[in-house]
Amino acid sequence: MSLPNTPDASPLGKPTAYDSGYDPSLLFSIPRQNMREQLSVGSTMPFFGVDIWNAYELSWLNLRGKPQIAILAVTVPADSPNIVESKSFKLYLNSFSQAKLAGIEALRELLRADLSAGFGTSVQIALTPQDAFSTLRLEELEGLLLDRLDIDVNEYALNPALLTTTKDVPAVEEKLVSHLLRTNCPVTGQPDWGSVQIHYVGDPINQENLLKYLISFRNHNGFHEQCIERIFIDILQMCKPQKLAVYGRYTRRGGLDINPWRSNFTTIKRPSNTRNARQ
C-alpha cells in the first residue's frame, strides 16, 4: 500500500479528471529526506543550490473573462523540505485556466503562497507576460563538449566506478558538458532527457570515463533533482575534487522543465535560467 507523500501515491501514471476551478490542494509534496537517505546525505548537506522550474502552459482570465498567458519561472532552494511532484504541479497550474484574477500581481502572490507551502519554504516567482516573450533567449551550457569523444559504450546501468582521475599532475579547473543524459521517471518509467554541466577544480577527471558514467544513467530511475544530486555525490566521492558544481537542464514534459543546480563553490553565482535549444 502506498503511503501518503510517497511517489506511488502521487498523480503520476493515474487517470486524471481536469477540474476547472483553482485548487492549490492539487500540489503533491514529496519529502527530499527519503530520496537523500538513498544517497547517504545526512542533515549536513555537501552542497547548496536551487531547482529552477519553468512552466510554459500557464493561463488565467482577467476580470472581463479574457484569457491571459505568461511563462512562469520558480526558483526553489535545494534545502527545501520537499519537492513537488511534476504532474501535480501541472494539474495545479491548469486549475488557473478558468480563474478570474485582478492582474498578474494577484497571480504572482497566489503562486508564491501556494508553491512556498508545497515546497515547505519560500520560493521565488518570476512571470514573463506575453508582450515580453521576445526578450527570452536561447543559450547552450558553457564548457567543453564531452559528446565529441568517439567512444565504445556497453554499460547502461548506473556505474559510479567508471569515474576516474589522473593523479600526480597539477589540479585543473574545467567545465564539461554533455547532452546525452537520459534518466527515467521512478513511477511511470517514462524517459527524461537532459543536458548536464560539470564544473570542478581538482585532479583531471578522465573525460571518456565521465561520458560513459553519464550514459550509464540511461536505465536509471530517479526524479530530476535526485539524479543531479547523485551525479554530484558520485563525482565528489570517486574523484574527490576540491570544488564541484553540477547543473542539469532537462527538456520539458507536460509544459514543465526542471533544472537542478548543486554546488560547493563559495565564489560562483547560481546559473542563469537561460534555456537551451532542446528546451
In this prediction, residues 53-65 reach a mean pLDDT of: 98
Distance CA 177, CA 173 (A): 14
**Residues 229 and 36 sit within 8 Å (Cβ to Cβ):** yes
Please give the single-letter amino acid code of residue 112.
R
In this prediction, residues 236-253 reach a mean pLDDT of: 98
Which range of residues forms the domain containing residue 48? 7-135
- 3-state SS, one letter per residue, for 166-208: CCCCCCEEEEEEEEEEEEECCCCCCEEEEEEEEEEEECCECHH
CATH number at residue 254: 3.30.1130.10
278 occurs within a structural domain? no
Secondary structure letter of residue 138 according to DSSP: B
91 with 170, same domain: the answer is no
44 with 63, same domain: the answer is yes
**Predicted confidence (pLDDT) per residue in 115-173, tens digit:** 999 999 999 999 999 999 999 999 999 999 999 999 999 999 999 999 999 999 999 99
77 with 154, same domain: the answer is no
Q: How many domains does the chain have?
A: 2
Residue 258: which residues within 8 A CB-CB, separation 6 or more?
51, 52, 53, 86, 224, 225, 250
171 with 193, same domain: the answer is yes
Rounded to the nearest 5 degrees, what angle is found at the Cα of 183, between the Cα atoms of 182 and 188? 130
118 with 152, same domain: the answer is no
DSSP alpha helix (H) spans, the chain: 32-37, 86-94, 104-119, 207-215, 224-239
Lowest mean pLDDT among 1-5, 33-37, 118-122: 1-5
274 occurs within a structural domain? no
Q: What is the pLDDT of residue 42?
A: 81
Catalytic residues: 185, 192
Q: What is the pLDDT of residue 268?
A: 86
**Predicted confidence (pLDDT) per residue in 169-209, tens digit:** 999 999 999 999 999 999 889 999 999 999 999 999 999 99
86 with 155, same domain: the answer is no
Secondary structure letter of residue 24 according to DSSP: G
